[in-house]
Amino acid sequence: MILPILHYPDSRLRTVAKAVDVVDDTVKTLVKNMFETMYDAPGIGLAATQIDHHQRIIVIDTSEDKSQPLCLINPEIIEKDGEIDWEEGCLSVPDYYQCVKRANHVKVRALNEQGKEFEIEADELLGVCIQHEIDHLNGILFVDHLSKLKQKRLLEKTKKSIKVL
């Protein structure tokens, strides 16, 4: 099922997600729906917060052919190093792209959609995507990493486009 995606500046995007206690059928269905929603959008990452489910769940697929789905439940960055500037976009901030400074390499511990703990190391696009989606779970948007002036301009532009609708 394709779910509606919240758009900036919706205040629900600022909600800090709660940990998943148990990976049950409800969580598995949510993960399935999140993948469908992300692929339909189309995007390469989606946090549960973006679909107004405030649980610590993210789905990612940075492959060209949708062949590398990755689900991270209760993700936690346990190591990070290096620095990279990457142009980011966001399904919750449509048609807006800016360079953001992130760690170039991350090591993350999480549960998969079967509830099994695993660790993954990632850099470049996948590493940036993981950091971006974990930010969502903490109520942070990629635009929060931008200068105050860029944030103000985006907010004004967004408010104008909302009035036009």
Q: Are 122 and 45 in contact (CB under 8 A)?
A: no
- Which of 36, 64, 133, 156 is catalytic? The answer is 133
- Is residue 124 part of the annotated active site? The answer reads no
Distance CA 98, CA 81 (A): 21
CB 137 within 8 A of CB 17: yes
Do 109 and 76 touch, CB atoms closer than 8 A?
Answer: yes
d(CA 98, CA 41): 19
- Give catalytic residue positions: 133
